[in-house]
Chain A
Amino acid sequence: MTEPPWAQRPPRRFATGSVVLGAVVGVVGTVAVPILLGLVASVAGPLGIAFGLLVPVTVLAALVLGIVLASTPGSPQRRGFGLGLVIGWGLLLLLAGGLCIALIAGYSGG
């Protein structure tokens, strides 16, 4: 026997586990990727400038990618991961944004 329409639960939009995973990746990625790029920039010679220019872009990458993943049609896992990225980016800014930028600046400076 099928449930009447009013008794059916709305489809899930966000998988909770994916939100947590996305938040962790958002925090770690927002720290790690710019630092790695900064390191590459410091040893890549003339090409280093290009990598260096990417550093500020990657600081915002988790936020932009998260918004795109969470707001476009997709599976609950994909949307949840995107929402987690947004939360992770915000958490990082709350926690240690200043510290991270200092680290990035330090590594980028070689």
Chain B
Amino acid sequence: MAPVLVQEHAALVHGLCVAAGIAAGAAVLALEVRRRGAADERLLVVVAGVVVGGALGMRAAGLVRLVQAGDASLLVQAWETGAKSVLGGLCGAYVGALVGKRLAGYPHRTGALFAPAVALGLAVGRVGCFLTEPVGQPTDLPWALRGAHPSFLYEIAFHATALVVLLALRDRLADPADLLVGYLTAYALFRLWVETTRTNDVLVVGLTGSQWVVLLALPLLLARCTRIRLAPREPQEPRHQEAVA
């Protein structure tokens, strides 16, 4: 059995880490909106769509698994113990953002605003998973934690690195909203690998449910990635020749 680091008050610890992740993400979102001069009250409706869609998607992904099992008592258990899914949350939040934009009549893309916020939020929130969920598959690698892959540390490192890259690239893309597309594609590829170090149940053909979701989404994301372009460099202004003056 894979080790779990925190067993007492696990739900509370997990909830506090998720809360910290949401707070950090909200702060980055607010800063990015301000930095880009994108303040618009219609964004509040988009945020509401993201929050509600993310919450429903996160829960629904876990519930689908239990409905398949055909045991109603498991549904209650799912609410009590979590049954949360980051992939479900991301899908739900994406759909929620689209619905929010449609309802509010907000015409602009919002990927540039949300990408750094999501990366930081997930990096912080995953600390809760690291502390309260089975850490990973057994391994004898030198950095093994109690004989297992520290799979959530891999994920925290991925999101932290992604945040640095996103901040470095945020003004260098032709369409900054493509930041989110690039980030989600990178996460999908990473998730495909990191699932092999986690303890999630294999669904079919040796792959977990998360890997199947990623495999379904990946062609769409990769196709969208081919349209990402760097912004053309602005021509450098000729140097002022003080000597002439």
Contact = CB atoms under 8 A, between A and B. Distances in A.
Contacts of B83: 98
Contact of B48 (A13, A83, A99, A102): A83
Interface in B33-91: 41-42, 44-45, 47-48, 51-56, 58-59, 76, 78-83, 89
B51 A94 contact: yes
B44 A94 contact: no
Contacts of B42: 13
Interface of A: 12-14, 16, 19, 63, 70, 80, 83, 86-87, 89-91, 93-99, 101-102, 105
27 contacts: A13-B41, A14-B41, A14-B44, A63-B52, A83-B45, A83-B48, A86-B51, A86-B52, A87-B47, A87-B48, A87-B52, A90-B48, A90-B53, A93-B56, A94-B51, A94-B55, A95-B15, A95-B22, A97-B55, A97-B79, A98-B79, A98-B80, A98-B83, A99-B80, A102-B11, A102-B80, A105-B80
Contacts of A91: 22, 51, 55
Interface of B: 11-12, 15, 18-19, 22, 41-42, 44-45, 47-48, 51-56, 58-59, 76, 78-83, 89
Contacts of B53: 90
Main secondary structure of the interface of A (DSSP, over half): helix
Given A80-B44, A83-B48, A98-B82, 17 more contacts: A13-B42, A14-B44, A19-B44, A86-B48, A86-B51, A87-B52, A89-B52, A90-B48, A93-B52, A93-B55, A93-B59, A95-B15, A95-B18, A98-B79, A98-B83, A99-B15, A102-B11
